[in-house]
Chains A and B, each alone.
Chain A
């Protein structure tokens, strides 16, 4: 596998990074390196064009309101077509928290409406109620894993996200709030386009999911070589315990 390289495009890493999003990229990088898989990351900031064919995985993290608004504008004006083309060729697109909210049609904050890139059919509304904050665990059923698995993390969002009728959530809420606090849905997944409110960050708490993403992004038929994951599994168990699962 030495000739393989995971090519990552990090979208707005200087602005959309509020919940330690770089921890997600670090997991991908190290877990590739330990297996002799190359790792290359390209940052795409405001105004930068994105090449839809040059990357295996596109990552979009969370940001503060003002930064999220700046990035939303740029996503729609500069990067939308490229991201649609990348998704059409089954590149992996992982969007977390504020990034997840930009995957759909729109994010309404009172009188303002932030546009989304429309990769999936969902809408987000900032509700008057409290922010949805806390440890969270969800059950996901992903292709190639032979059964359901648990993702654990932390959520902290004011927006409530509703999926359109044809859209499937990433998982079912075991503990925590999920997309809107009552649907029992968490996140969204359409093929390799994945959105979730789980940060914490997500991949350090769920190293198995990092491996699943690497495999999907590289289009591997066989599973990745196993690693010594004793600490990864202990951290995953700790995050599950914190969520009460």
Chain B
């Protein structure tokens, strides 16, 4: 294929991007799809032009936030990035970012299932793999299918330096034959859970199949584990968080340990789940040669990615938009909510579009029980609003505090009115989050993330 063909395909693709943006929302992957149709090797070809190469991030949960944090650090370091910032993370989204981007270093979050293709085409300098949890089973299939595909990526030699979460056994094990793998993890037992959460998936040894023994649980199956049969154990991390203080939705403080030293970090994003994202971003930046001081400063200025802890003023209330899309991700949010003082006012929006997963059974695996006794008022909306309400009823929320309003605009009005003068926690699924932001953008309350 000639460079001319890429150019022509690129022209058609840019035109498609303009049209789809005019048509409304998104428009971030369509031009990439058009480009790849005209030039199936476009990612490889455009990626090869990046003077500083690229880095790739994948995980079930936290891709967009980790990439946003890494972007902040890398830009502070002086890099000009080509980055699929809006979260379009399949091949089309990566191709579109490459097509429109103007920079030297590529930073791409990549969908778990597209990782092998994108890594094969980009041959990144480093690949960060954050966690593997059960996700939308109707879309992604079983966890072990993805774990096997990731193992092939790790063994394939195209991924560059592996940056791995030591606390997730199925991820850490990918580094077993890579002496240069950079591992990150939490080294503070004071933030441990009393017991393993129900939504824990990689509970059996990847090597021999025996159930792991856990010394400490942090989030789902993340923690400090050891196989009693074959002796495989959680490796010691090179990038560490210790002396952690969690301050709910106001963020956390911790000591960041890197191979080149330690720094105190006041980190603004909520919850232990975001601390894992911070560690991942720090480890990736370290692997790309960024010094400790720049990494620490970048984390302190970290901002929530759209819809992931984003704060928006709405009708006299402060709304916090907290995307929930699978049991482990929802549990991270619910754990943080449960640590808040005072009664909670919530807007829970459950959609069953393809991007949400048509199968909504996952809400029964998430620990909504943590909210029992804590909810002053919850408005349930979305295409499966009654099932969301039912989940909360069986979690122990009194029915008189549960309202069902399938229409999102009306639900937002009702929920915001009830939360006037205080805080409204909005828990939308993926397409619900996009729709909610669209409403808020139309009302001038949020910024258009796709502009």
Interface residues of A (CB under 8 A from B): 14, 17-20, 22-23, 26-27, 30, 64-67, 70, 131, 133-135, 154, 156, 199-201, 204-205, 228, 231-232, 234-235, 237-239, 242
Contact = CB atoms under 8 A, between A and B. Distances in A.
A112 to B, nearest CB: 15
Given A22-B198, A22-B365, A200 B360 contact: yes
A198 to B, nearest CB: 10
A118 B144 CA distance: 28
Contact of A26 (B352, B358, B362, B394): B394
Contact of A19 (B137, B198, B203, B386): B137
B359 interface: yes
Interface in B382-436: 383-387, 389-391, 393-394, 399, 402, 404
Contacts of A242: 352, 358, 384
A204 B362 CA distance: 12
A20 B384 contact: no
B434 to A, nearest CB: 20
B393 A231 contact: yes
Lowest 8 A-B CB distances belong to which pairs?
A23-B364, A234-B386, A20-B364, A20-B361, A235-B390, A235-B387, A20-B365, A235-B386
B387 A205 contact: yes
A199 B358 CA distance: 13
B158 interface: no
9 contacts: A18-B134, A19-B137, A27-B394, A154-B138, A156-B138, A204-B390, A205-B387, A232-B390, A238-B385
A199 B361 CA distance: 8
Contact of A154 (B204, B359, B390): B359
Interface of B: 134, 137-138, 141-144, 198, 203-204, 209, 327, 352, 358-365, 383-387, 389-391, 393-394, 399, 402, 404
Contact of B361 (A26, A154, A228, A234): A154
A26 B364 contact: yes
Contacts of B141: 131
Given A23-B361, A201-B361, A133 B138 contact: yes
Contacts of A204: 364, 387, 390-391, 394
B358 A154 contact: yes
Given A234-B404, A235-B386, A134 B358 contact: yes
Nearest to B144: A64
A156 B359 contact: yes
Contacts of A18: 134, 137, 142
A19 B142 contact: no
Contacts of A22: 198, 364-365
A158 B404 CA distance: 35
B203 A14 contact: yes
A66 to B, nearest CB: 6
B390 A231 contact: yes
A18 to B, nearest CB: 7
B91 to A, nearest CB: 21
Contacts of B361: 19-20, 23, 154, 199-201
Contacts of A30: 394
Given A22-B365, A26-B364, A154-B358, A64 B142 contact: yes
> Which residue of B138, B352, B362, B383 has the most chain A CB atoms within 10 A of its CB atom?
B138
Contacts of A70: 209
A64 B147 CA distance: 13
A237 B327 CA distance: 24
A133 B386 CA distance: 22
Contacts of B402: 231
A65 B144 contact: yes
Contacts of A154: 138, 358-361
Contacts of A23: 361, 364-365, 394
B359 to A, nearest CB: 5
> Which residue of B144, B198, B361 has the most chain A CB atoms within 10 A of its CB atom?
B361
A134 B361 CA distance: 12
Nearest to B369: A26
B255 to A, nearest CB: 35
Given A23-B364, A26-B394, A156-B137, A238 B359 contact: no
Contacts of B364: 20, 22-23, 26, 201, 204
Given A26-B394, A201-B364, A228 B198 contact: no
B144 A66 contact: yes
A204 B393 CA distance: 11
A200 B359 contact: yes
A67 B352 CA distance: 28
Nearest to B141: A131
Contacts of B383: 238
> Which residue of A20, A67, A199, A235 has the most chain B CB atoms within 10 A of its CB atom?
A20
Contacts of B384: 238, 242
A231 B386 CA distance: 6
B394 A228 contact: no
A221 to B, nearest CB: 28
Contacts of A14: 203
A205 to B, nearest CB: 7
> Which residue of B209, B362, B383, B393 has the most chain A CB atoms within 10 A of its CB atom?
B393
Contacts of A231: 386, 389-390, 393, 399, 402, 404
A171 B385 CA distance: 27
Contacts of B363: 20
A211 B393 CA distance: 17
Nearest to B350: A238
A70 B361 CA distance: 24
